[in-house]
Structure 1
Amino acid sequence: MLHRMQTLPALFLSHGSPMLAVQDSPAGRFLDGLGASMPRPRAIVVASAHFTAAPTHVGTAAQPRTVHDFGGFPPQLYDLRYPAPGDPELARAILHRLEAAGATATAAPEHGLDHGVWVPLRRMYPDADIPVVPVSVDPRGDAAAHVALGRALAGLREENVLVIGSGGFVHNLGDLDWKTQDAALAPWAAGFADWMRERLQAHDLPALLDWQAQAPHANRAHPTVEHLMPLFVALGAGGATPAVRTLHRSHELGTLALDAFAFD
């Protein structure tokens, strides 16, 4: 099939709990309609919070396996598969792009699709017929390094490739209110989320890059940083001064903010 070249946005998606794959929720319904709202990509590149490696790793498998990298959930989740093909040629092109940008990168031929990849894609593109290439984030890296990673991928958007950062806008599993699915967002989580939204809309990149020092409750919102780093990959992939569009806002379990953004 021939694909007309077009420029796609870069996306940041909050994937939340693995239950997003099967559960009716505002975030799930948003994802159900997201794929159809955009031109169909020829391939998808996903920087996932659950693929953590340094230097940057790029999945090169022709048929990546579905990885169930979670525990304690209903058995039905472990039976799900997302049999999307890989794209080894695109993966090699990404490695060349990263190296040309001065980054160290390595092929990951055995890496599959973790739930940060397949859970949102299963709802966006349930036929699993678009090739997917996973890219790692560095759990010890900073925001600037991940913006640079995204900028190295930005040119792919002009080649009808959808670049996604999959993480969590507020992600502290230790503070979840498991008793109430739709509990109100805790004040500290709302304070962090509001600051991030304001800085994104103001295109205040210096403040965003210094989020750990400047954002209220930053360390509580992200005790570890890997779920926010995909946001910076998507921001970088949007280009030098991307427009920021809020695609979705919802929350679950009192502290899990599930914002989604487009950068183009």
Structure 2
Amino acid sequence: MSRFPTVFISHGAPTLPIDPSMPSAGFASLAATLPRPRAILMLSAHWGTGDPAASIAERPETIHDFYGFPRALYELRYPAPGAPDVARRAAALLGDDGIAAATTIHGLDHGAWVPLLLMFPDADVPVAQLSIQPRRDPAHHFRVGRALRELRDDGVMIVGSGQITHNLRMADFSARPEDADPRVAEFTDWFEARLAARDIDALLDYRARAPHAALMHPTDEHLLPVFGALGAAADDYRLDVQSLGTFQRALAMTNYVFTDA
């Protein structure tokens, strides 16, 4: 069996599963193109620690880590089993590569369970979550992904969940997709072109090289998961892009799949 692909998801607002104006069906379509994994290792923008931490929860709780949304959203649960074996293996691989890592108990935040609810609605694929390091740079997260590569040989899909553009101060929640700020496309077009060219040096230096980088990402945390997925991909990966549009004027819903060539 070939190595499993790695994936980056723009997970959107927490309301993705209940808001008919959002492109929730696109996540099911994406899942239909992917092989069914034995387990998922999820790197979400919403769990940050100083050093990598892998959750060995047997039954990770559904964390509603947001405020002021409709009651129906708080009633949703994603009861997927945990994957403690994957978490322990991930921590060991990181340690072998000289990256300090720990195991702990942590639930699934909305960056993890919201897209998984749409992609694997039966909640029957075990999930382990690995934290990101918001104070560390893209190169660190790329190195983390590289250390985890061999998990893909064992049926594990490594998924980064963040947002390809994320500046909530620019957001207009009444905007239509056609009202997107043109600078969003300028940034995403640059990022996609660099991904397609496998220009890792430029991507890791995106804050200096990408157009409007600081505007699209005032802080890094929603883009860092893509570098974990990219690091875990093959050197000669094939890039597949799923562009679902731009919502709330500033949030591009673009997903990437990195498949072995």
Q: TM-score normalised by the shorter chain: which range applies?
A: over 0.9
> 1:168 is matched with which residue: 163, 166, 177?
163
Write the letter of the residue equivalent to 1:141.
R
Residue 89 of structure 2 is aligned to residue 93 of structure 1: yes
Q: Secondary structure at the match of 2:229?
A: helix
**How does 1:81-120 map onto structure 2 within 5 Å?**
81-109=77-105, 111-120=106-115
Q: Secondary structure at the match of 1:66?
A: coil
Matches of 2:34 and 2:238, distance apart in 1: 16
1:126 is aligned to 121
Aligned residues: 259
Q: What is the CA distance between 1:36 and its match in structure 2?
A: 2.6
1:182 is aligned to 177
Q: Secondary structure at the match of 2:16?
A: helix
2:58 is aligned to 62
1:207 is aligned to 202
Taking structure 2 as the reference length, the TM-score comes to 0.95
Q: Deviations over 1:215-251 (max 9, x none)?
A: 1111110011000001111111112232221133421
Write the letter of the residue equivalent to 1:92.
R
Q: Deviations over 1:102-123 (max 9, x none)?
A: 10101122x1000000000000
Residue 194 of structure 2 is aligned to residue 224 of structure 1: no
Matches of 1:19 and 1:172, distance apart in 2: 17
Matches of 1:55 and 1:159, distance apart in 2: 25
Taking structure 1 as the reference length, the TM-score comes to 0.94
Matches of 2:179 and 2:228, distance apart in 1: 29
Q: Secondary structure at the match of 2:23?
A: helix
Matches of 1:105 and 1:164, distance apart in 2: 18
Q: What is the CA distance between 1:13 and its match in structure 2?
A: 0.5
Q: CA RMSD in A?
A: 1.3
Q: What is the CA distance between 1:183 and its match in structure 2?
A: 4.2
1:41 is aligned to 37
Q: What is the CA distance between 1:22 and its match in structure 2?
A: 2.0
Matches of 2:184 and 2:34, distance apart in 1: 30
2:147 is aligned to 152
Write the letter of the residue equivalent to 1:21.
P
Q: What is the CA distance between 1:87 and its match in structure 2?
A: 1.4
Q: What is the CA distance between 1:10 and its match in structure 2?
A: 0.1
Q: Give % identity.
A: 44
Deviates further, 184-193 or 197-206: 184-193
Matches of 2:62 and 2:129, distance apart in 1: 12
Matches of 2:23 and 2:158, distance apart in 1: 19
Q: Deviations over 1:186-225 (max 9, x none)?
A: 0222221111111111111111111011111111100110
1:75 is aligned to 71
Unaligned 5+ runs, structure 1: none
- Contact in 2 for aligned 1:10/1:237 (Cα 8 Å): yes
Residue 13 of structure 2 is aligned to residue 17 of structure 1: yes
- Contact in 1 for aligned 2:6/2:232 (Cα 8 Å): yes
Classify 1:36/1:191 alpha carbon distance in 2 versus 1 (closer, same or farther; 3 Å).
Answer: closer
Unaligned 5+ runs, structure 2: none
Q: What is the CA distance between 1:6 and its match in structure 2?
A: 4.5
Matches of 2:25 and 2:169, distance apart in 1: 26
Q: Which runs of 4 or more aligned residues in structure 1 lie more than 4 Å from their structure 2 counterparts after TM superposition?
A: none
Deviates further, 17-26 or 130-139: 17-26
- Contact in 1 for aligned 2:165/2:217 (Cα 8 Å): yes
Q: What is the CA distance between 1:154 and its match in structure 2?
A: 1.4
